[in-house]
């Protein structure tokens, strides 16, 4: 069962309430997305840890309901 961009955004927003999030369905199939997440929570963290926080927010859906997510993360400028 595919996820919607709104579902992905809501899950991330719950874990990172201050985040500015954009989610794009890359293939129109509800399985392949790109997301940009900007959060103060990422400040000082290596990119791998930033991505781990986002994947954690998805509550195990990565690889199941969500097949692919191209992810860009950063702290606000």
Residue-wise pLDDT tens digits, 24-48: 999 888 888 999 999 999 999 999 9
pLDDT the model gives residue 1: 61
Contacts for 28 with CB less than 8 Å, ≥ 6 apart: none
- What is the spatial distance between Cα 50 and Cα 58, in angstroms, rounded to a whole number? 13
Residue 67 has pLDDT above 80, yes or no: yes
pTM above 0.85, yes or no: yes
- What is the spatial distance between Cα 47 and Cα 14, in angstroms, rounded to a whole number? 20
Architecture of the domain whose range is 5-74: 2-Layer Sandwich (3.30)
- Domain segments of the chain as ranges: 5-74
- What is the spatial distance between Cα 65 and Cα 36, in angstroms, rounded to a whole number? 19
End-to-end CA separation in angstroms for the chain? 36
Contacts for 27 with CB less than 8 Å, ≥ 6 apart: none
């Amino acid at each position: 069962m595919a996820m919607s961009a709104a579902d992905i955004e809501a899950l991330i927003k719950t874990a990172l309430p201050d985040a500015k999030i954009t989610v794009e369905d890359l293939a129109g199939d509800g399985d392949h997305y790109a997301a940009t997440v900007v959060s103060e929570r990422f400040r000082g963290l290596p990119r791998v840890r930033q991505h781990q926080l986002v994947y954690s927010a998805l509550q195990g859906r990565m690889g199941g309901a969500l097949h692919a997510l191209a992810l860009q993360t950063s702290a606000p400028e």
